[in-house]
Amino acid sequence: MRCKLVIFFALMLLALPAAAKETTSAPPPEVGVAPDPTWELLSGEAYLAMPDYDRQVYVGGLNDAYMWSFAGGFERMRWLVPCVDDRSARQLSAMFTKWLEANPERWHEPAAKLFPFAIFEFCR
């Protein structure tokens, strides 16, 4: 029994270098190659190009994320709670869309970053 155990561990030790070679990470991307566009944030322009229902869903998610950030202790978002209280995703989407259309110079920026600026302007 003891001999079998020693042989088992010896084989495991021999297999480790081979397993390590198989699990190496992929090579780094080539210099000058564009990043994978699926990891980019949605821009204001891309938000405006979405169908109305998709805009509502997106804004509903943004609103939830910002509300949870406040609930999690991010005090700077305190103003958002009374501002969005009793407003539907459709209303928030219309407010955000109106703000974006009035600020085309910011369309290249991420929509998630622009959302609080737009809502804050309406709630002052």
Q: pTM, whole model, 2 decimals?
A: 0.65
- Residue 100 has a pLDDT of 96
- Residue 19 has a pLDDT of 52
46 phi/psi in degrees, rounded to 5: -65, -35
Parts of the chain with a pLDDT under 50? none
- Do 47 and 55 touch, CB atoms closer than 8 A? yes
- Do 114 and 41 touch, CB atoms closer than 8 A? no
- Residue 92 has a pLDDT of 93
- Residue 65 has a pLDDT of 87
Q: pLDDT of 34-64, one tens digit each?
A: 555 555 689 999 999 999 999 999 999 988 8
